[in-house]
Amino acid sequence: MKYAVIGDPISHSLSPIMHNAAFQALGMNAVYSAEHVLKDGDALPQFLDRARKTLCGFNITVPHKTAVIPFLDEISERSRLAMSVNTVTVKEGRLIGDTTDGTGLELAVQEAFGLELTKRHICIIGCGGVVRALAFHLANAGAASIAIINRTRDKADALLELVKVHFPMVECASAALADTALSGELLSRAELILQCTSVGLHEGDPTPIDSQLLPVQACYFDTIYRETELLKAARARGLRVSGGMGMLLHQGAASFRIWTDRQAPVEVMRQALLKASSPHAN
């Protein structure tokens, strides 16, 4: 049984290590590889033609999560809302899409902070592809309010308009990152802050927002795996903090369950990720 993750770039992905450890632990005759599928040209449809014939399932990462949708035979309701697919199951040559990013975030937040999403006031920093999936998941899970602070405020407004159509009970608000006063006001009400910009992915990146605006009573979850400057500053201010490894783990475990109909060996997968991401890994 063959599985894969596709993206551009893809060499940094820890998904093969996590899934191959799971297959091995359960004695399954399966292998998971990373495939570099270029953003431009026919690379994506060509890969999908091949996948129909040779794979049992695959994960999708940047930049194909939305672009893949027109090529699929079926997608879940949650993927349709989020316009995002990160998990495809191949069944008798048919491609069936789903998204597990929201589940991954929810389980990671529960694990890190013991926090349920229901009735929570949640503030998201950033409004890229992953936030589409997260915003609908948070609304569906019963969040009381969702505020989005983004460099480009229009993107946050457009997404929140859609969220309100499907979940009118959820209170929604937005601010531009540059509007410190409004951003500070939205952050001050938050019980959970989700850092979802790409700022912090690289050593030396600044913080996307002034850390003094983070309320000390909130929990701070950074979707980036490495310790960002904002995570460090949040911790120093006394917030409870978590990096994004738990989200990677739980979205992967959810994909594993969808493909195999078996419980994923989460602890085995976690240990494989920790080992691979430790500074001493080679």
Ligand X SMILES: NC(=O)c1ccc[n+]([C@@H]2O[C@H](COP(=O)([O-])OP(=O)(O)OC[C@H]3O[C@@H](n4cnc5c(N)ncnc54)[C@H](OP(=O)(O)O)[C@@H]3O)[C@@H](O)[C@H]2O)c1
Which residues of the shown chain bind ligand X in the complex (CB under 6 A)? 62, 101, 104, 126-131, 150-152, 155, 177, 196-199, 201, 208, 223-224, 244, 247-248, 251
Nearer to ligand X, 52 or 232 (CB): 232
CA distances from 49 to 30, 53, 77, 126, 131 (A): 20, 7, 24, 34, 29
- As measured in angstroms, the least distance from the Cβ of 203 to ligand X is 14
- As measured in angstroms, the least distance from the Cβ of 166 to ligand X is 20
- Residue closest to ligand X when measured from CB atoms: 128
Tell me the C-alpha distance between 62 and 201, whole Å.
14
Sign of the C-alpha dihedral computed for residues 41, 47, 49 and 50 taken in this order: positive
- As measured in angstroms, the least distance from the Cβ of 84 to ligand X is 9
Residue 129 sits at the vertex; the CA angle it makes with 81 and 279, to the nearest 5 degrees, is 135
Nearer to ligand X, 92 or 203 (CB): 203
Nearer to ligand X, 140 or 223 (CB): 223
- As measured in angstroms, the least distance from the Cβ of 248 to ligand X is 4
**Among 4, 22, 98, 104, CA closest to 59:** 4
Peptide bond into 63 cis (omega under 30): yes
Residue 266 sits at the vertex; the CA angle it makes with 134 and 84, to the nearest 5 degrees, is 25
Nearer to ligand X, 119 or 149 (CB): 149
Question: What residues are labeled active site?
Answer: 65
- Please give the sequence-ordered ranges of beta strands (E in DSSP) within 120-197, or none if there are none: 121-125, 145-150, 171-176, 192-195
Does residue 86 contact residue 58 with C-beta atoms inside 8 Å?
Answer: no
